[in-house]
Amino acid sequence: MPRALTNEEQNWVEQTLNAMSLPEKIGQTMQAHAGRLPFKQNDEQALAAYLNKYPVGSFFIGGEVIQKAAGKAGEYREWIELLQKLSRVPLLFSGDLEAGAGSAVRSLTTFPPLPALAAADDEALAYAYGKFTALEGRAAGFTWALAPTVDIVLNWMNPIITTRCLGDDAKRVARLSAAILRGMQDHGMAACAKHFPGDGVDYRDQHIITTINDLSEEEWFGTYGEVSAHLIQAGVMTYMTGHIALPWLEKVPHGEPPVPATVSYPITTQLLRERLGFEGVILSDALDMGGFLAWGDYRKRIVDCFNCGTDVLLWPGVRYFEVMEQALADGSVTLERLDASVRRVLVLKARLGMQRLDLAGRDPLAQELRNDTLPQELDLEARELSRTLGERCVTLVRNRQQLLPLDPLKTKRVLVIMLNKATEGRKFVRMELFVDLLRARGLEVDLLEEFEPLDTLQKWEMSGVRWDAAFAPYFMPLHGMMNTARPVGEAAKAIWAMLHAETIRPIGVSFATPYLLRDMPFLDTLVNAYSLHAESVEFTVKALFGEVPFQGVSPVQAEDHS
Amino acid sequence: MPRALTNEEQNWVEQTLNAMSLPEKIGQTMQAHAGRLPFKQNDEQALAAYLNKYPVGSFFIGGEVIQKAAGKAGEYREWIELLQKLSRVPLLFSGDLEAGAGSAVRSLTTFPPLPALAAADDEALAYAYGKFTALEGRAAGFTWALAPTVDIVLNWMNPIITTRCLGDDAKRVARLSAAILRGMQDHGMAACAKHFPGDGVDYRDQHIITTINDLSEEEWFGTYGEVSAHLIQAGVMTYMTGHIALPWLEKVPHGEPPVPATVSYPITTQLLRERLGFEGVILSDALDMGGFLAWGDYRKRIVDCFNCGTDVLLWPGVRYFEVMEQALADGSVTLERLDASVRRVLVLKARLGMQRLDLAGRDPLAQELRNDTLPQELDLEARELSRTLGERCVTLVRNRQQLLPLDPLKTKRVLVIMLNKATEGRKFVRMELFVDLLRARGLEVDLLEEFEPLDTLQKWEMSGVRWDAAFAPYFMPLHGMMNTARPVGEAAKAIWAMLHAETIRPIGVSFATPYLLRDMPFLDTLVNAYSLHAESVEFTVKALFGEVPFQGVSPVQAEDHS
């Protein structure tokens, strides 16, 4: 459990609360999306006017802001200081810092994602993962990581957390995620465990529609419930509810829509708050997601979301103020309930030391920035952690023909069968890093990425071309409405091409799902690298050629043993 | 069971068998792909030389030949007569006539696919479906339909037969497929029940890899086994084995590859031939499919396929002759086994009256062709059947808001949210027929088919545009390596856009999977039309506007009741 507040902190909370106007209280219970501010973001007058009219309590900073700020940590910090200066009540700034502060700010460090951390399975590394996310993030102005993902991948077809969580074992998820959040919270960053009551059971994506965690009560307490209890015990400051229904707790008649946690009193208040005893801030998942939108009209959605026990609503839009004032006026929301949430938000701010900001909005608890990174020693430590994880995660899942490691002296010409042409309109250029690294070794690389790979491969084989190794790297971004974790479309055709070829023994390399064998069980050789994190790709290539060992252990059951 | 042969037919079989050279016998046990002949196809000298060197017993005619022949039935018939004239032993010509002879020959009739037939659920229509497939097909020279699909869709995620089979109920599948095959076989066309031991359980596609039917023995006999027994009783002349394993019958140690039916003695001989008592011709599925290629090298694959009990191998390529001669020479294939398969093929030819072809290769049992169609009366009957099925199949799956039928007087401007941008490199132009029919009614149609449908839809709504109806038509071709039956990629984003919109109540229309509600359970209005069959689309539009009733009944459990 988190420490008790000091008297001074407690006083600040109560005094701040007592001095608040109604709009200021309402504002504490929403989080705005900085990328959607309706003006150029460093316009001080416009910002001041905005905060005066909409005194929000926190901002989320995502991709759009990065682009405007060219990804420099210093620019974030300056902008955040400006907002802090302009806001009467100190603000919190959140980001999807799931894989380091580099997930949000380009000049900072991006670590490999959680499945890679789970493949290394080392609590000390997990603590450091949280620590450097916090130190770097706070230096750039962030105080609230919407991380770690504490879901459990119980359904390998889940299209959203398969590449974003700590695997399929509840105990490992609990152990490593607790280490991450301690690392974060010990270094000035609120962690946010997500997504309650747990993603990873449904085959669908709550960005698109409401999903369902259909475990029984007993199964739930043996998995997600166990993780939650462990994290609450470890003192997690905030929890994110997802647009995920939990039928054992709230069963609806056939034909009625499922009730996502984000509007469910039984899930949010009775289970998370009361039964599990979580006392921190409950943040909803983003309210522009399909899984929430289906619930009802705007007013109904918002009021139900607040009343079910949510403290902070994520991206409700500024109509929120008007709807809440009306709801308070007509009694559908009570002031008592509002004050309870505002108090929890202020307690969180006090814990993070927000009352210590100076009048210029500067944060005395943040590390200095040098050239948009941490001071040299810390920066080196963060980058070293990134390399270490990149090296430690690479997992040899299968090596039945003992093809690996490849002999660098005998490997001259290689084939790369690209498996990522999944959807129209996107280019996954980062897959090219793998090819670039092969070419940088002096290898002759033939690239198969045709619409009709079968014919091309046959043509090459019949013309007498032979390869010393054939790689089948796979990547598909899950957090992008793909609605599948499996190779589909032209990627599926490439699988066929591989089987059709007569001279190759394909070496699979997954830079995404750890479950490639479920669709390609014939692969006798498979390496899981979990992501396109640059150093993971680098060490994958080194490991393929025997320059470093494969050290990772798959955090999921990679093949079907049924 | 089929009738016994007459003495005359029996004599023809034995005399033909006795007069055969070894290559001729081997040739009877393979089926060549006419589209892959290594020369221009109406070159008589080249054809004669080919048949002399490779005396194959049957040809498959697919898409490639259609293109060359401009889809005219007369050209097929002429070309087939030429081959019959040149071949010493009469040939069989097969096609994927799954939805009428129009599936292979453009000038003939294409019916709605089997799910639509199952939605009409009428044995008389099913018999007529088989009858006209046979009359039209045989008029164009075909004698062997690789149809009907007798699979059962027990896993809604199956990416290959979800839109090609008669639904999820074994009894309905047995009843309707028996009617189809009787209609075919009563009118001079061999039917082929496929795919033994049954597709529809796995989430994968045997075009890509070997799939697994993992039912228990008891479950199998209560579903696929029941269908097989019924069809064998009904006298089905041929059966196609799939690249599908059946672990209750042939369990392999962990780590060993699954054994597809196409190389499995227990499945092909012990189960299909002996236990179920099938006496007809067993044809393998195509041997260039991924599900077969993984089995071993070419020689091993071919010999195992033949020896497991297959009578005719589909598309092994002409290397088959050499490999089989060698296998007969070294004793790995016996002459007795070869003769048994050749005899079954000749019995099939005799049943179909192939011994009655004249010296010019003409078929006295075939209907005449007039302008590349059947004689007028029969042709009208076939086209009328197509319209009837198009009208009878359209199914109102949900109408919770009573939006349907739409009032033609009040419906002026409509939105169409295209959901078919599934994969790169393909254009699914046939979805446009739906839009064309709306426009032909004088409706103003706004088409949403952007890469970022969310933004566009918002922009339109904010500009004040309102629609009297919003359609979400869905189509994705399953038989095209998509490896999924679900809306993926940009299609998934379009689902989100629908929920994000504030002013529309989407009317879903599936022109493919009948399971759209599994991914879009929020849809309060859904029509299943099963395919883009022109008249089905036409009657769908009519039914939407109340001009005809919705008559179909879903042949699958469209939503999850668990």
In a domain, B266, yes or no: yes
CA distance A80 to A85: 9
Nearest residue in chain B measured CA to CA from A254: B561
Same domain, B262 and B220: yes
Residue numbers in A near B421 (CB within 8 A):
423-425
The answer on pLDDT for A426 being more than 60 is: no
Q: What is the CATH number of the domain that holds A92?
A: 3.20.20.300
Cα angle A52, A57, A61 (rounded to 5 degrees) comes to 105
Chain A residue with minimum CA distance to B559: A255
- Do A116 and A252 belong together in one domain? yes
Give ipTM to 2 decimals.
Answer: 0.91
The answer to whether residue A355 is domain-embedded is yes
Strands B395-399 and B525-528: antiparallel
Rg from Cα positions in chain B = 25
**In A, which residues are within 8 Å of B508 by CB distance?**
none
Residue A556 in domain:
no
Identify which of B310, B334, B357, B350 has the alpha carbon closest to the alpha carbon of residue B16.
B350
Q: How many CB atoms lie within 10 A of CB A470?
A: 23
How many angstroms away from the CA of A554 is the closest CA of chain B? 17
Sign, Cα dihedral of B179, B182, B184, B190: positive
Q: What's residue A425's pLDDT?
A: 43
Verify that B151 and B196 share a domain, yes or no.
yes
Q: Could you tell me if B405 and B280 lie in one domain?
A: no
Specify the residue for token string 């990134």.
Answer: A386
Q: Is the pLDDT of residue A87 over 70?
A: yes
Which of A257, A294, A492 is opposite residue B483, by nearest beta carbon?
Answer: A492
Tell me: pLDDT of A338 over 90: yes
* Integer Cα distance of A243 and A293 in angstroms: 10
Taking the CA of residue A127 and the nearest CA in chain B, the distance in Å comes to 36
Q: Are residues B370 and B399 in the same domain?
A: no
Q: Answer yes or no: do A361 and A472 share one domain.
A: no
pLDDT for A2: 75
- Do A251 and A335 sit in the same domain of this protein? yes
Q: Is the pLDDT of residue B425 over 60?
A: no
DSSP 3-state assignment of B562? Answer: coil
Which of A424, A488, A520 lies closest to B482 in CB terms?
A488
- Contact criterion met (CB below 8 Å) for A26 and A324: yes
CB-based contacts of A193: which residues, under 8 Å, 6+ apart? A148, A150, A177, A181, A228, A231, A236, A238, A239, A240
Q: Which residue of B522, B524, B562 to mutate against A (max A Cβ within 10 Å)? A: B522
Overall number of domains in chain B: 2
| Contacts A525 to B, Cβ<8 Å | none
Domain extent for A273: 7-376
Q: Which residues pair with B92 in a beta bridge?
A: B58
**B505 and B360 in one domain?**
no
Task: For B129-186, give the DSSP string.
Answer: HHHHHHHHHHHTT--EE---B-----STT-TTTTTTSS-S-HHHHHHHHHHHHHHHHT
Structure confidence at residue B196 (pLDDT): 98
Contacts of B347 (CB under 8 A, 6+ apart): B5, B9, B13
Cα(A535)–Cα(A111) distance, rounded to whole angstroms? 9
* Per-residue pLDDT tens over the stretch A484-522: 888 887 788 888 888 888 899 999 999 999 999 999 999
Whether A487 sits inside 8 A of B483 (CB atoms) is yes
Of the residues A202, A209, A298, the best mutation for testing chain B's interface (the one with the most B CB atoms within 10 Å of its CB) is A209
Residue at B27 is within a domain? yes
Name the residue of chain A whose CA is nearest to B450's CA.
A425
The arithmetic mean of pLDDT across residues A98-125, rounded, is 96
Residue-by-residue DSSP string for B196-214: ET-SSSSSS-TTTS-EE--
Residue A420 has pLDDT above 80, yes or no: no
Q: How far is A41 from chain B (nearest CA, A)?
A: 21
Confidence (pLDDT) at B484 = 87
H-helix segments, B257-318:
265, 290-293, 298-307
Q: What percent of chain B has pLDDT over 90?
A: 84
Q: How far is B550 from chain A (nearest CA, A)?
A: 21
User: CA of A524: which chain B residue's CA is closest?
Assistant: B255
Cβ neighbourhood burial of B205 (10 Å; 0-12, 13-18, 19+) = buried
Does position A193 have pLDDT exceeding 80, yes or no?
yes
Cβ of A423 and B423 within 8 Å? Answer: yes
Question: In this predicted structure, what is the pLDDT of residue B358?
Answer: 97
A384: left (phi over 0), alpha (psi -120 to 50) or beta: alpha
Q: Which residue has the higher pLDDT, A340 or A451?
A: A340
Residues B343 and B347: their CA atoms lie apart, in Å, by 6
**Do B204 and A257 make contact, defined as CB atoms within 8 angstroms?**
no
Beta strand segments in A189-248, E: 192-196, 211-212, 238-241, 244-245
Burial class of residue B314 (count of CB atoms within 10 Å of its CB; 0-12, 13-18, 19+): buried
Q: Cβ contact (<8 Å) for A492 and B208? A: yes
pLDDT 10s digits, B93-136: 999 999 999 999 999 999 999 999 999 999 999 999 999 999 99
Among B209, B490, B519, whose Cβ lies nearest the Cβ of A423? B490
The rounded Cα A213 to chain-centroid distance in angstroms is 19
Name the 3-class secondary structure at B261: helix
Peptide bond into B197 cis (omega under 30): yes
| B407 and B369 part of one domain | no
pLDDT value at A428 more than 80: no
Quick check: is B319 in a domain?
Answer: yes
Least confident of A128-142, A541-555, B458-472: B458-472
Q: Are A423 and B489 a contacting pair at CB < 8 A?
A: yes
Helices then strands, counting H and E runs in chain B, come out as 20, 16
H helix runs in A259-365, sequence order: 265, 290-293, 298-307, 319-329, 335-351
Indicate which of A211, A488, A525 best probes the interface with B, i.e. most B CBs within 10 Å of its own CB. A488
Give the chain A residue nearest B477 (alpha carbons).
A489
Q: Establish if A389 belongs to a structural domain.
A: no
At position A11, the amino acid (one-letter code) is N
Residue A553 has pLDDT above 80, yes or no: yes
Going by C-alpha positions, the residue among B536, B532, B284 that lies closest to residue B392 is B536
A144-145 vs A211-212, strand pairing mode = unpaired
pLDDT of the residue at B494: 85
Q: Rounded to 10 degrees, what is the CA torsion of A127, A133, A134, A138?
A: 170
Confidence check: pLDDT of A537 > 80 = yes
- Which residues in chain B touch residue A492, judged by CB atoms under 8 angstroms apart? 205, 208, 481-483
What is the rounded distance in angstroms from the CA atom of residue A92 to the CA atom of residue A80? 9
Instruction: Please name the helix (run of DSSP H) or strand (run of DSSP E) that holds residue B241, with its range, or none.
Output: strand B238-241
Cβ–Cβ below 8 Å for A481 and B500:
no
For testing contact with chain A, the best of B252, B454, B495 (most A CBs within 10 A): B495
In chain B, residues with a C-beta closer than 8 Å to the C-beta of A210 are 521-522
Contact A290 B500 (CB under 8 A): yes
Q: Kindly tell me if the per-residue pLDDT of B424 is higher than 50.
A: no
Q: Give the whole-number percent of chain A exceeding pLDDT 90.
A: 84
Bridge-based pairing of strands A144-145 and B444-448 is: unpaired
Per the prediction, chain A carries an average pLDDT of 94
Which residue of A lies nearest to B420 if distances are taken between CA atoms?
Answer: A424
- Determine the residue type at A554: S
β-bridge partners, A33 = A60
pLDDT score at B423: 47
For position A453, what pLDDT does the model report?
81
Residue B289: which residues within 8 A CB-CB, separation 6 or more? A496, B206, B207, B208, B243
pLDDT of residue A64: 58
| Cβ separation A521–B561 shorter than 8 A | no
Do the chains contact at B522 and A294, CB–CB below 8 Å? yes
Strand, coil or helix: what is B240? strand
Mutate to test the interface with B, among A156, A522, A562 (most CBs of B within 10 A): A522
For B393, phi and psi rounded to 5 degrees?
-85, -25
* pLDDT surpassing 60 at residue B137: yes
B488 and A490 within 8 Å at the Cβ level: the answer is: no
The answer to whether B117 touches B56, Cβ cutoff 8 Å, is no
- B420 and B354 share a domain? no
Contacts of A410 (CB under 8 A, 6+ apart): A468
Rounded to the nearest 10 degrees, what angle do helices B432-440 and B534-544 cross at?
50
Query: For the segment B500-545, what is each residue's pLDDT rounded down to a tens digit?
Result: 888 999 999 999 999 999 999 999 999 999 999 999 999 999 999 9
Q: What is the pLDDT of residues A249-290, one digit of tens each?
A: 999 998 889 999 999 999 999 999 999 999 999 999 999 999
* B479, B99 Cβ separation under 8 angstroms: no
Q: Is residue A557 part of a domain?
A: no
Residue numbers in B near A500 (CB within 8 A):
288, 290, 293
Strand locations in B8-113 (E) = 30-33, 58-60, 92-95
User: Among B348, B376, B404, where does a domain finish?
Assistant: B376
Residue A312 lies in a domain: yes
* Same domain? B349 vs B409: no
From the number of C-beta atoms within 10 Å of its C-beta (0-12, 13-18, 19+), residue A200 rates as buried
Q: How many residues belong to chain B?
A: 562
Contact assessment for residue A183 and residue A134, using Cβ atoms and an 8 Å cutoff: yes
User: Tell me: the pLDDT tens digits for B168-212?
Assistant: 999 999 999 999 999 999 999 999 999 999 999 999 999 999 999
Across the interface, whether the CB atoms of B496 and A290 are under 8 A apart is answered: yes
Percent of chain B with pLDDT over 70: 96
CB contact under 8 A, B208 and A482: no
- Model pLDDT for residues B55-78, shown as the tens digit of each residue: 999 999 986 554 455 789 999 999
> In terms of CA atoms, which chain A residue is nearest residue B422?
A423
CA atoms of B92 and A179, how far apart (whole Å):
70
Residues A218, A101, single domain; the answer is yes
Report the mean per-residue pLDDT for chain B.
Answer: 94
Share of chain A above pLDDT 70, in %: 96
Listed residues B341, B376, B411: the one ending a domain: B376
Return all residues near B491 (Cβ < 8 A) that are at least 6 apart. A483, B419, B420, B421, B422, B474, B476
Asked whether residue A66 carries a pLDDT value surpassing 50, the answer given is no
Distance from CA of residue B65 to its chain's centroid?
17
Query: What is the distance in angstroms between the Cα of B64 and the nearest Cα belonging to chain A?
Result: 15
Give the angle B510-B516-B518 at the CA atoms, nearest 5°.
Answer: 175
Check CB contact under 8 Å for B208 and A496.
Answer: yes
Measured in angstroms, the CA of A535 and the nearest CA of chain B are apart by 28
Residues in A touching B251 (Cβ below 8 Å): none
Domain with residue B437: its CATH number is 3.40.50.1700
What's the rounded mean pLDDT across residues A380-400? 98
The pLDDT value given to residue B345: 98
- pLDDT of res. B427: 53
Does the structure show a pLDDT above 70 at A37?
Answer: yes
| Residue B429: predicted pLDDT | 63
